[in-house]
Amino acid sequence: MDISQDRPLKGVRVIEMGSLIAGPFAAKTLGDFGAQIIKIEPPGTGDPLRTWRSPDNETSVWWHVQSRNKQSVAIDLRQPEGQDIVRQLAAEADVLIENFRPGTLEQWGLDYATLSRLNPGLIMLRISGYGQTGPLRDLPGFGVIAEAMGGLRYITGVPGQPPVRPGISIGDSLSALHGVIGVLLALYHRAANGGQGQMIDVALYESVFNLMEGALPEFDRHHAMREPAGSALQGVAPTNAYPCADGRHILIAGNGDSIFKRLMQLVGRDDLGNDPRLASNPGRVKEMALIDEAIARWTSERGLDEALRELASARIPAGKVFTIKDIAENEHYQARGMLRSIQLKDGSTLRVPGVVPKLSATPGGFDAGGPELGEHTATVLRAAGIPETVLAELRAKGVIA
């Protein structure tokens, strides 16, 4: 039985080029929903992600998340014969995803102008640090730099201290998700408006900047600079992390007007809850320190679990700071299908994240982890019409593996 038969992207063929995070994350997301993902990797080494955050020479467990639902085809793109193979595959593909430095595909004769002549319906997603145009296009771009240029790093951290890095590669992942949106839009346009493909240009820094809310118009109109605010959120009150009696912290979001009144009643500060100056967010922002002090006094007299129970009873949004251990043991994560177990080729099992988003009629899914390097080279290239004799010659020359 075809496990992808009820998934919405069944029949969509994607060629994934590039490595590590942004491009492969976009392809992984499309694969979760039924697209066939043909992942091109360099022979011998493969995608560097295979060894990231792994002990000794073991395959990275991250690999089994990022590369699920994919077919690995080992091709040396630096050799003309390898480039010819990609052109042949692209002629029959729906989507090609790459995250090389701009100009790389042009050097190989695999740019959009060339491939679209072979396949006018081809959709090409190009993810890079600064985009395919502009004065910075040729600079190497990584997610960490994009997070800084996009404005995120400046506002993240404690006032007066160096900017703090989020503990994940969020610039890459945001760009991947923007890329997925672009691919889905282009697929719809192709189906509804004449069958033509197009090129999608995603820049890492722009993906970060797209999430910067009202920072630019606030600066333009009011000359207001978003600044780092620690665990609070500048311009919104109250929302912060507050200390509990057991040494842990609780996150409380009491910034809705009616929620604020209930919160102040709960913490024994009806005087603040009924103060007309604090009835809406602009007034509360002016008295943020006073409000936070009142909440912190209440939380510091209770353990985390007790505080959570009382806040839930008062219908006030609150939560603890989850570690990955908390997540792995959480009943709600389990009930929502977000903690999945898969069996690897060595017979061991591995817990991995489930699929997001959840579709009611055509949900996504996966049954296994990432492929071995070159596991599907012969299968994919035979299906593309390359004879066995030619495959043997290419293998002997190191073009494929």
Which positions are annotated as active-site residues? 172
End-to-end alpha-carbon separation of the chain, Å? 29
Phi, psi of 375 (to 5 degrees): -55, -30
**392, burial (CB in 10 Å: exposed 0-12, middle 13-18, buried 19+):** exposed
For residue 318, give Cα distances in angstroms to 157, 315, 323, 362. Answer: 21, 9, 16, 33
Structure tokens at 185: 């839009």
Rounded Cα distance between 148 and 171, Å, is 9
Phi, psi of 284 (to 5 degrees): -65, -35
Rounded (10°) angle between helices 304-313 and 257-266: 130
- 3-class secondary structure for 334-373? HHCCCEEEEECCCCCEEEEECCCCCCCCCCCCCCCCCCCC
From 81, 2, 89, select the one nearest 39 (Cα to Cα): 89
From 143, 212, 209, select the one nearest 176 (Cα to Cα): 143
Half-sphere exposure of 388 (CA within 13 A, CB side): 0
Radius of gyration of the chain (CA): 25
Q: Length of the chain, please?
A: 401
Structure tokens at 142: 């990584």
Rounded Cα distance between 332 and 355, Å, is 15
